[in-house]
Structure formats: C-alpha cells, structure tokens
Structure 1
C-alpha cells in the first residue's frame, strides 16, 4: 500500500499525539532534535561533503526554523561548512539554546539571504513548515525570491516554503531538488517534482502507524531517514472529510477516546470519518 499523505489538520493532530503523555510521550525538544538530525542525514545521502561543503540554511521563526538550526549543528559535525540566515529569533529557551550551540561550533549567522548565496553550494529551506498560512512578509519575501532565482540545489524541510500545505505549488513558487518530509508527506508534496524525496523523523511507533493508517516504509538499519519511491500518481490522503480512504478506528482509538488529547483529535480532526 502507498504511503499516506497528510492534511494540515491531521499533521497537527499527530504532532499533538506525539507530545501527549497518553500518546507518543515525546517532548518538543526531542522531536525537533530528531527532525533536524534526519534532515542532516538525508543531505549526506545525496550531496557529498566534498562536492557540496558550503551549505546556507534559511531558518524561519517557527518549528521548521528550529529543525534547520539542529540540521546546521549536525552538518557541522559531519564535516560541512554551514551558515545560517535567521532574521526572526523568538525569545525562547529552545531558540537561544540552539543558537548558542551553533555559535559554539563557529557556525556563522549571515545578515541577508544574498550575503550567504555567493559562496554556497547548497541551500536548506527551513523557513515555513506545515502550519504556515497566509501571505509571506518581509524579511522572508526576499528569502523566497532568492530561492526562486538561485541555480543552487535546494533541500526543503517538510514542505517547500510558501507552498500551500494541502494544495501544493499553487503560487508558482520554487521547486526544490530534495524534499525531506517529516512524520509523513503532506498533501502539498504531491506537487514535488524533484529527484530526491526522503522521509525523516523516525518517531512514529508501529501502533501509531496502524492507528492513522500511514503505511510508513521501513527505515534501513540505524538510519533516521528513508528514500521514498515516486508514488505521486497513487498517493492516498489522511483527510478531515468523510473519505472512504481513511482507516477505520482501532481498538486503541476507541479505548483512549475519553482522554482529553485523544478527544481533541477525534472531535476536531477525524470526527466525520469515525462517526
């Protein structure tokens, strides 16, 4: 069976479940670390350090940007020369901690997208993730324009920035060379036309995979990422509507429905499908 593609609301619900004490039991910091590490590892699979040593990472103000900072740290340990464009820096402990870790590794922070492009071999797009909606505003308008006009290969984290999470590249944005989907591909990823599509973030249990009917592939060995085959022609979606493609509720779902977190997904995400 092909891997399932997630709607925005389903992706948000799975994130909530992953951090729920009755669900995955993960902390936010753990998920960010695993996601960023998987992105860095996926890059090593297709972009050799000898040929693509200088990596410019565009990090946004949200969780996607944190994934980019974690990836920068791991890429530095892997022998690459990352630098980071991080114009919006929330005053939170996790952001400050990751910036400090990058600084300790002497990873430079550049002031503008252009200042990092002229001596780079690869770009990592970690600006906006699956929660993004609305219009792009400065300073990220300039960053998106740089991504649209550059001839350098681009690696996008989870969903290409400024794409519609469910409708895809409706605004005629850039096409990345590599997409590293996290947890499971989002519906908008059906528009991805690049040669390298990876799944990262090895934090979904077999039980959660069955519950949501994700049909995730096996991760090879100790890898934190897995290359996906081209299945754009036959993807199925985890939808918020009453689609027949949605998996039937499992015994675990029914048993935990009284829990506050599980009730949140059931009432706000899949209530129509499971009614």
Structure 2
C-alpha cells in the first residue's frame, strides 16, 4: 500500500507467535487492481490516505515491525527501531510522520552509517518500493540492495521484496537477483510476484470491506482476536 523509500531496523527482544491458516491459500491481484482497490477504499470505503497508512503500518508492525508508521508502532511496543531513509518524501504527510518519529527520539541512520547499522540489527523491514515498482534500480538503491543481499540479517519485505518486479519477480541479474527475504507481508492481498517467494508469508488486510473483497474476488481470512495479520499460503496463479 502507501509505502515509500526507506528501510527500518529494530532490535526484537522476544519472538512473537503468529496465527497461521495452513490450509488457506489466497488469490493474488495485479498491480493495476491493487491500485484500483486502494482508490476504492477511499472512494467507496470512506478511508483517508492517512488512515490507510496507519492501518498498513499497524499490520507491518505486527508481522515484525509499512514504513514510518510501523517504526512508530514498534517504538511504542517497546522495541528499538531506527530508520534508514535515503530518499525522503517532501509531501506534508511524510513530513508529519518524520516529526512524530523525532518526537519519540527514534534515530535516523545516515548513508555513511548504514553498513554499520546493518551489521548490528536483528531484523530489517524492507519497504523501499510500493507495488507499482518496475526496474531498473536507480542510485542509490542498487548499492543498498546489494549490501542487504550480502548480509545475514533476517528481512521482512512489504508487498514485494525491493528490486523485484511486481509481476515477474526477482531480476535475472544484478542487485536483487539473489534477494530472498525471510518473510513477506502482503497488504490487502498478495501480488503476483509471491509465486517466486519461498519464505514465510503474511497477509494484512483486516480493513477490507465485504463489498470490496467481492469486487476483486478476494478471500478474506478470519483474523483471530485483535490480530491485524495472519500467516497464510498463496495461490498466485488463481487470479490470472
């Protein structure tokens, strides 16, 4: 959903147990449909962009910590996130989010300090690009992806591992060709590239209404309790 260029890292003192629907397989939707779904959530569902970012960030934070919102939630959960934000958005929305993080004393990692921070973190949340990304990678992201590929840090990617094409998956060569995160969280619904993914897969979309789910042919998992995410399988070919 509405994430932009940044990485987050956080120290996770305890492991979290996740609800898992082992036999449930969700359909994937194309990038075009995903964009249309987001628009419908605002036009038909009455959600604002700010609200959808909050819901996305809350889901990501529960899966292991989208974006600046997830970092804020993680800090409020008692974790110690820091943020690498190489291309900062100038939109007022992102400016306000940064102010919220600074008010919580959440540190921002500089370009020079990123390699050191990468070596010290216990988990990295990858939310550089949204579902509309199509290569090739522009500077400085190729180098950033290469550093992550070379590290042993567990990675949770949002919607698609960064550098992956939303439809065709990882690039054949260059940065990202060997990038396989430990986990992936799909917001609203899985995207086609999930068929190339071999790690743990979560879905976060408890805010979808029955009418919107029916319009896009989505199966809504039964989220347990107050959880915003669920670990699921995926059938990416079923939608196309």
Which of 200, 207, 210 is the equivalent residue of 2:204? 200
Displacement, 1:115?
3.4
Coordinate RMSD, CA, aligned: 1.6
Alignment match, 1:83: 82
Q: Does 1:31 align with 2:52?
A: yes
Displacement, 1:235?
4.4
Q: Does 1:18 align with 2:41?
A: yes
Alignment match, 1:40: 61
Number of residues of Structure 1 aligned to a counterpart in Structure 2: 211
Alignment match, 1:236: 238
Unaligned ranges ≥5, structure 2: 1-23
Alignment match, 2:223: 219
Q: Which has the larger radius of gyration?
A: 1
Displacement, 1:84?
0.4
The 3-state SS of whatever aligns with 2:149 is helix
The 3-state SS of whatever aligns with 1:228 is strand
Alpha-carbon distance in structure 2 between the residues aligned to 1:140 and 1:180: 21
8 A Cα contact 2:163 2:171, kept in partner:
no
**TM-score normalized with structure 1 length:** 0.73
Change (3 A) 1:124 1:84: same
Alpha-carbon distance in structure 2 between the residues aligned to 1:87 and 1:104: 20
Alignment match, 1:271: none
Alpha-carbon distance in structure 2 between the residues aligned to 1:224 and 1:202: 6
Alignment match, 1:179: 184
Greater relative contact order (Cα < 8 A, sep 6+): 2
Unaligned ranges ≥5, structure 1: 45-66, 240-275
